[in-house]
Every structure is written in structure tokens, then in C-alpha cells.
């Protein structure tokens, strides 16, 4: 893997690159709170299969620039970063693979620029179309006075102050498997004024088997250097994104792969059949849905072999002859 700092869409962007230029291009887009390092198991596997792989630190993360304005993180800026990466690689088209927030970017890249992104693979976060009401209004109505992390992330300066004071506490709380044993939560009052995010789930008693202390140390070094504001600004664009995408056709018209864990909280209200049914109207070319029983949210790290097999089979079918 080669580390580079490039100029991309007016940003200084850090990317990890592997494989041979000229091979079918695959862009790997990470989510929150993550890094290019989240794809450490996928980059070599894809490169060895003949793909040209680029895994950036996304806007606001790691060694990539973090613009100060909140609106610089709306979905159009994030998608434009991905288009600029395709241009930088000298390619006409790419496959895009996204996890968590990176999946949101990947879906929108396929929606807005199907001529540049000939296929999409999404991990953890499905595309279900644009909601009929503002997502913030939906969440405020649903949660009321109870704590909800997305609403907590809306006020600039609040969440980053908590996370930057204890990055290890945040990452250890989040980077866990569904069955990781935990201490009792430090915050048991569900009211939003009872405290921040760290401590509401309870600190895991040990790291999950898929994450070593060295892996955790890498992530911690990244966030201690970059801070959390850039990534949190993605959340502060939910309302803006909803407004900006009004009138945009929500049907993804390129081949798609969806990978989800049965115990991922993002899809906790669905099972495999209902997820497929809900995606079908807006993802009519869903090639396959890999439903991993017992898997959680950090799926490409937790179950890398299964994710890699699915990705390689899908990409070989949609890109292998380019």
C-alpha cells in the first residue's frame, strides 16, 4: 500500500493506494468515526485480484483537510470529492464501496453520477430513498427529551468537546461486537440532559477479537491529531442534505451489493427479507444482499473474509472485463 497526499476537489487529501493503475478502479469510503484504516483487510485483497484501489481519509478525517464551514460537508461536497478521486486516478469510471456514512456518500455518488460510478457496494447503511419529512423533525418527534446521538451531534462544539477530552473512551465504547461484555453504563438516565454519549452503553471489558490494541492505537493517533469536528459536521448537514436533494430521482440505476449484519443497530428494525423489500423500489438492480447473522456494525473489520468474498464476486461481475 502506498500513502499519498494529493490535491483533490480543492482539498489536500490523504489516500492509501494499492494495485496497478489502469486496473478497474475501486474507491473505498469510510464512515464515522473511522479512517482509511477501516479497509485494511479489503485493500490488499482487492489489489491482489487486479483492482486499482484507493482508500481516502474522507473530508474532515485523518490527514485530509477539514474545512471550517459546516456547509462544506454537505452531500454534494462529499460526492464531488469521490468524483475528483476518479479524475485523479485517470479513470472514466469506478466502483464505489462505502461503509456507514461512506455508504451514504456511495449511494449518492451512484444517484448523482451514474456515468462515473458503474456499481456500488454498501455496508451497513441501505438506500431507502428520501424521507417525506425532515429527518431532524422525525428524530425529534420520535425521541422527544431522550438522548439520541445524531441530535446530540447537531450543536457545534458540544460533542467534539466530549470526544476530544476522552477519545479512547469514545472509541472503546463504539468499537465492539454485539456480544462484547460491558461494564454497567455510567449514565443510566435516558434524558438528553443527563450527560453526553460516552458512558451510555458501558465500557467493553475487552477489545473484540477483530480489533487489536495496535489497531485501536492507530485510530486514536488519527483522532488525537485531527479532532472530531470534521466528522461531526457530516451529521450537521442532515437537514441541508434533505433540502438539497428535493426533486432528485432516488432510484439507483447501477448494479448494487448490500452487506448488513443482523445485529447492526442501523438495521435493527428489519430482517433480511424486509430489508430487501424496502430497498427494491429504489435499488432495482440489487445484485445481492449478504445478510451476516450475528454481525454488528463494523462489518468489514468484524467479518472480513465474508465481506471480501462478496465484494470480489460482485466486482468481478460488474468490472472484471474493463
Rounded to an integer, what distance in angstroms lies between the CA atom of residue 168 and that of residue 219? Answer: 9
Residue 7 CB partners (closer than 8 Å, separation 6+): 13
SS3 category, 220: helix
C-alpha R_g of the chain: 19
Distance CA 317, CA 322 (A): 10
Distance CA 138, CA 132 (A): 10
* Strand pairing report for 52-56 and 94-99: unpaired
Residue 25, phi then psi, degrees to nearest 5 = -85, 135
234-to-34, 84, 142, 239, 255 alpha-carbon distances in Å: 13, 19, 21, 11, 26
**Cell numbers representing residue 316 in the block:** 468481478
Rounded Cα gap, residues 281 and 96, in angstroms: 21
Single out the catalytic residue among 113, 127, 297, 319.
Answer: 297
For residue 210, which phi and psi values (nearest 5 degrees)? -85, 0
Which ranges of 23-131 does DSSP label H, i.e. alpha helix?
A: 42-48, 75-88, 101-112
Active site residue 100: yes
Catalytic residue among 52, 100, 264, 319: 100
297 is catalytic: yes
Q: What pairing do the DSSP bridges indicate for beta strands 117-123 and 94-99?
A: parallel
DSSP structural state of residue 133? S
Identify the DSSP state of 205.
S
> Which positions are catalytic?
100, 297
Amino acid at each position: 500500500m502506498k500513502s499519498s497526499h494529493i490535491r483533490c476537489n480543492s482539498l489536500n487529501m490523504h489516500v492509501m493506494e494499492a494495485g496497478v493503475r489502469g486496473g478497474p478502479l475501486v474507491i473505498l469510503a469510510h464512515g464515522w468515526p473511522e479512517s482509511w484504516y477501516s479497509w485494511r483487510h479489503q485493500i490488499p485483497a482487492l489489489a491482489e485480484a487486479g483492482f486499482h484501489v484507493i482508500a481516502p481519509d474522507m473530508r474532515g478525517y485523518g490527514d485530509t483537510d477539514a474545512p471550517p464551514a459546516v456547509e462544506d460537508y454537505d452531500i454534494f461536497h462529499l460526492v464531488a470529492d469521490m468524483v475528483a478521486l476518479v479524475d485523479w486516478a485517470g479513470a472514466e469510471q469506478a466502483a464505489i464501496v462505502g461503509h456507514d456514512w461512506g455508504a451514504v456518500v456511495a449511494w449518492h455518488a451512484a444517484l448523482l453520477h451514474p456515468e462515473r460510478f458503474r456499481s456500488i457496494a454498501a455496508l451497513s447503511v441501505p438506500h431507502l430513498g428520501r424521507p417525506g419529512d425532515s429527518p431532524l423533525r422525525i428524530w425529534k418527534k420520535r425521541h422527544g427529551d431522550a438522548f439520541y446521538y445524531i441530535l446530540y451531534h447537531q450543536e457545534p462544539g458540544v460533542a467534539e468537546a466530549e470526544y476530544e477530552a476522552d477519545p479512547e473512551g469514545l472509541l472503546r465504547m463504539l468499537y465492539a461486537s454485539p456480544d462484547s461484555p460491558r461494564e454497567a453504563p455510567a449514565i443510566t438516565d435516558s434524558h438528553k440532559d443527563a450527560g453526553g454519549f460516552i458512558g451510555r452503553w458501558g465500557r467493553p471489558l475487552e477489545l473484540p477479537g477483530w480489533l487489536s490494541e495496535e489497531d485501536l492505537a492507530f485510530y486514536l493517533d488519527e483522532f488525537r491529531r485531527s479532532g472530531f469536528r470534521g466528522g461531526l459536521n457530516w451529521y450537521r448537514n442532515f437537514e441541508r442534505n434533505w433540502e438539497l436533494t428535493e426533486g432528485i430521482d432516488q432510484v439507483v440505476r447501477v448494479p448494487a451489493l448490500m452487506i448488513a449484519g443482523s445485529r447492526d443497530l442501523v438495521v435493527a428494525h428489519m430482517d433480511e427479507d424486509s430489508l430487501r423489500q424496502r430497498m427494491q423500489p429504489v435499488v432495482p438492480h440489487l445484485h445481492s444482499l449478504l445478510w451476516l447473522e450475528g454481525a454488528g456494525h463494523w462489518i468489514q473489520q468484524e467479518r472480513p473474509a465474508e465481506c471480501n468474498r462478496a465484494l470480489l464476486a460482485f466486482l468481478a461481475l460488474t468490472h472484471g472485463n474493463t
